[in-house]
Structure 1
Amino acid sequence: MRLRHKVAVVTGGTSGLGRRIAEALLREGAQVVCAARSERDMPAITELAGPRAAFHHVDVRDPDSVRGLMSFAQDRFGKLDICVANAGVTRDGPVHRLDPKEWDEVLDTNLTGAFHCMQAAVPYLQLSAGTLINVSSALSTRVSPGATAYSVSKAGLDMLTRAAAVELGALGIRVNAVAPGFIGEGMGSRLSDNDLVWDDYRTRLVSGRLGTGDEVGRAVVFLASPDGGYVNGHVLEVNGGLQWA
């Protein structure tokens, strides 16, 4: 129970990878606000943790909505210690054919959304010497044709993580990121469902398998807990030894 008495917010926290991150925090004793545009799997999360889990509607593209989320966490649980910016989308397409509206949606959600979370969370986290954790991706440092918008958003998120760690250190706030590889949750679950694509990508995995959402969740717990107390400005890859041609 490394996070007993800690309060966390997880955006995109009601389904897929966000749900697994929220559950990992809950298993370690935290009180967690699962924030998203839909309640999705919230009943199962509540069954796991009872009153230690709460839902709040948020659109991370809207700074007012994000400020309302952080205020809700403060009002519901009395403080904020951990903010996990996990909400994300992807829109596939090569740069010369990608709809500019889809480009904007990906950048506004994945990168600007995390920026909104940082700005809204800092006034609370500086009171608790808290931590910000961004959910990046293995594609932040690797080229995958057709995933340009997603990769650019995550590459920007890596730099935002490092820059914010330097700027917020004086306030006692640590900032890190996890960069999952191919995970069998959320977006990653589609990979193994396509035999043609999976046959290609499986050979790139030293572990020989997809990762699990629980494994990413445990990495987030490490960064949020005292075990990761001297880790700051770091992007932790959780990818099973992913190789890239």
Structure 2
Amino acid sequence: MTDTVKSAIVTGGGSGIGAATAKRLIADGWLVTIVGRTVDKLEKTTGEIDAGDKLNVVQCDVTDRDAVAGMIDSHVAKFGGLTGLVNNAGVAVGGPIDQVDLDAWKTVMTGNVESVFNTISLAVPHLKAANGSIVNVSSVSGLGGDWGFSPYNASKGAVSNFTRALALELGGQGVRVNAVAPSLTETDMASFVLENGPAMEQFKARMPLGRAAQPSEIASVIAFLLSDDAGFVNGVNLPVDGGISASNGQPNFT
């Protein structure tokens, strides 16, 4: 990145990983636009950050392409350019495949894949001008399969491979594209697991670190991938998963 002042857009910025990423980037000296659909969540994050002119807040549904265009225009008008894009907004849909209706399938594919296409395709001209960087929030569920979660797996698998393809396409034009692949993280979207005692015990048994991640732990890796310190990192889907993906899947006999 060549800009002295760096600025980033963070989607899904009203809570969880997005809010933590906005806080981390502002602490690192970035100017940040947080984007979300829910005003209450955006206002809560704004109050927690208290960043003044370093923070721009835009209510936007990233599945709405026209709204995304307006959101990017708002960021550029306020901060003069764009050097980083974090695609964090997403939805979770699961269940036995013969019980997943078409509307649910479309919801997860639109929310997790089309939204990323919208933001990247519209932001790329600005990112090229700044030799910028993109970080997509995928998932370990985009690197391998889960039982009973195939729609989500399909959507995050698309994000992971979209990341690789764009790294090839855009790397020579000065834009790096990477992804993080978290496992279970303490966010609202994961509450259906976090609040289920038996499910949490199974997770802890599979997690070498024995716990869920904090959003700030994912945010710190996103901040690294956006930064000049990662200037030769391109096309990576980086697991931030407490070691789950280190296993070959066999049982723990110890």
With the shorter chain as reference, the TM-score category is over 0.9
Q: Distance in 2 between matches of 1:201 and 1:220?
A: 24
**Contact 2:84/2:133, CA 8 A, preserved across alignment:** yes
Task: Tell me which amino acid in the other structure corresponds to 1:27.
Answer: A
By how many angstroms is 1:92 displaced?
2.0
Q: Distance in 1 between matches of 2:135 and 2:59?
A: 20
Q: Distance in 2 between matches of 1:141 and 1:202?
A: 20
SS at match of 1:55: strand
Aligned equivalent of 1:239, options 238, 241, 252 = 241
1:87-141, Cα deviation, whole Å (9 max, x unpaired): 1001222111101001001001101110111101101001100011100001112
Task: Tell me which amino acid in the other structure corresponds to 2:22.
Answer: A
Residue of structure 2 in register with 1:38 after alignment = 38
Instruction: Say whether 1:8 aligns with 2:18.
Output: no
Match runs of 1:1-245 below 5 Å: 5-47=5-47, 48=49, 49-242=51-244, 243=247, 244=249
More moved, 211-220 vs 46-55? 46-55
Task: Provide TM-score, normalisation by structure 1.
Answer: 0.94
1:205-230, Cα deviation, whole Å (9 max, x unpaired): 11111111000000000000111111
More moved, 39-48 vs 209-218? 39-48
Unaligned stretches of 5+ in structure 2?
Answer: none
- Root-mean-square deviation (CA, aligned residues, Å) is 1.5
More moved, 180-189 vs 117-126? 180-189
Q: Distance in 2 between matches of 1:40 and 1:227?
A: 35
1:46-77, Cα deviation, whole Å (9 max, x unpaired): 34222211211211112111111111110011
Task: Tell me which amino acid in the other structure corresponds to 1:17.
Answer: I
**Contact 2:15/2:45, CA 8 A, preserved across alignment:** no
SS at match of 1:178: strand
Q: How many residues align?
A: 243
Q: Distance in 2 between matches of 1:146 and 1:4?
A: 47
Q: Distance in 1 between matches of 2:182 and 2:191?
A: 13
More moved, 215-224 vs 33-42? 33-42
1:27-63, Cα deviation, whole Å (9 max, x unpaired): 1111110011113333343342222112112111121
- Structure 1 residues 36 and 4: alpha-carbon distance in aligned structure 2, compared to 1, 3 A threshold: farther
